[in-house]
Structure formats: structure tokens, C-alpha cells
Amino acid sequence: MKILDVLQKEAILVDLKSQDKKGVLEELVMPLTHIAHIAQGDLMRVLIERERLGSTGIGGGIGIPHAKLKGLKSLVLGFGLSRRGVDFESIDGRPTHIFFLLITPENSTGVHLQLLARISRILKNDPFKEKLFNAADSKEVLSIIDEEDEEF
């Protein structure tokens, strides 16, 4: 599964305003509520519960908040960019700039792990991260991801 198989243009936010973890999650969740027809409160609840287990701020300016949600029909993916950076309780203690938010149905562990691994792998590429950070709009984000996310 490729990232662009699930990432919709409407779920790409290139100018996150929030400066804290909860605010960023709320911003990222907003378009997904419309795409997945799920209440914002339900999405926030599972994400906050997951963050309590340990931060999904993986370091290097990257955050991949993710959770499973009962009743969700298919996985949804969001992308967010914070130019200023956010304290996302990252493992390296540095600000987080690039976010991929993944919500999957409760019973889809394989797909969940597969997409997390794919996102993590392409984000190890520093030139790719820099291109994403400098993307002007959602169309450019999609183009950058498309170039990098080749099916294996």
C-alpha cells in the first residue's frame, strides 16, 4: 500500500497554527472527521490514549501520531506541517515540524503496521524531509510524496 492510496488532498495542512501537542492533534483530526464521518471527540480520545503510552514524536522533527478506532470503516491518513515547530514531547526533545496522522480500524493491525513502516522509512531521507518542510501547498506535498513513495 502506498501513502497516496490513502492520503487525500483535503487531509493535508501545510500551516499548522498550534504550538502544543493537543492543539496539533485537534487540527490534524479536523479534516479526518469529515473524510471518515467520525466524531472529533472519538478520534481525539484514541489519539490521547495512545500518546499516554509514549510519545509518537519519533525525533528528527517528525511526529507520527497513530491509533486504532473501533467502528472505523477504513484507514485514514492526515499530514501536517508546522514551520515554527511544536513541542510534541519528541524522544530527542527537539521541536516537531512534520506530522503524519494515521487512524486505522481496530482490527487492521497488519495494514496499520505496514503503513507506519512505510512512512517511517521515507522520513529517514533528509532531502525528502526538507522538500516536505518547504512545500507551499497540499498539491506540492502530494507531488513530493509521490516521487518518494514507490511501491516495492
Query: Which ranges in 1-102 belong to alpha helices (H)?
Result: 21-36, 40-53
Sign of CA dihedral 142, 65, 123, 131: positive
Active-site annotation holder among 34, 37, 66, 97: 66
The string over 130-147, giving b where at least 16 C-beta atoms fall within 10 Å of a residue's C-beta and e elsewhere, is ebbeebeebeebbebbee
SS3 1: coil
In sequence order, which residues have a C-beta less than 8 Å from that of residue 11 and are 6 or more positions away?
Answer: 31, 32, 35, 76, 77, 78, 79
Beta-carbon count within 10 A of 23 CB = 13
Residue 97 is among the residues annotated as catalytic for this protein? no
Q: Which residues are catalytic, by number? A: 66
